[in-house]
Structure 1
Amino acid sequence: TREHILLARQVGVPALVVYLNKVDMVDDPELLDLVELEVRELLSKYEFPGDEIPIVKGSALAALEGRDEEMGKKSIEALMQAVDDYIPQPDRPKDKPFLMP
């Protein structure tokens, strides 16, 4: 996680959404809250708005396997909604020639 946040900062990623995966393997909700707090502190340390960035908790494996709809499918839907709501659409000039890098 630390490396991903650092890399995002170094390459100039302007906005992030965090998916806290594998929550189905943790029985204690307080532990999940502690992990979320640590992730927010880490985001703030690397100059991201840690208190504002959406953090979605879920289980990608549960979504793939079609079990535990709340932690699986619904968490993926919540993640995509957070991406749609929080990540701004890039400004793409349409009046200029197409340039492919």
Structure 2
Amino acid sequence: MTEFQLSIPGGDPWPPSPERMPHLLSINHIYAYVCDLKRHVNVGTIGHVDHGKTTLTAAITKVLAEEGKAKAIAFDEIDKAPEEKKRGIPIAMAHVEYETVKRQYAHVDCPGHADYVKNMITGAAQMDGGILVVSAPDGLMPQTKEHILLARKAGVPSLVCFLNKVDDIDDPELLELVEMELHAS
């Protein structure tokens, strides 16, 4: 059996002498460092225009800002392009960042308008998971169904549904109908 003598920068032999060992990181130090890193997750809000995607994104940053885990970003700061303000609809994707105890999130707020579906596809292609925002009074709209299909085609592995504007519905049966429609899609 052949023995190898390795050296590290500076000409010191490997393995180092016991007195030099404290200056090097042990596997335990490396493991502790790696375990301390937070997993990075790309998420995005998708759904029909005016169902509340940007409002939900702003609310997430507000809640997490109260815990010191994000910068609170107001609704009108997310849709800040002059054309968006003029037309009253998001055109470009907006990016926000926040974190939880275990993860760092890069959040893409995708436009819901049919004219800007290309921008939604670009955002979905980068997502590890998506939040499908559906307005309870409106239910599933054609654009909602298209966004579900496009997210699947783009390879988004997981979608959760956020049923928005539930307080605008007085009839519990109507709400149940919307929920059933969501489960079916």
TM range (shorter): 0.3 to 0.5
Higher strand content, 1 or 2: 2
TM-score, normalised on structure 2?
A: 0.22
Higher helix content, 1 or 2: 1
Which structure has the bigger radius of gyration? 2
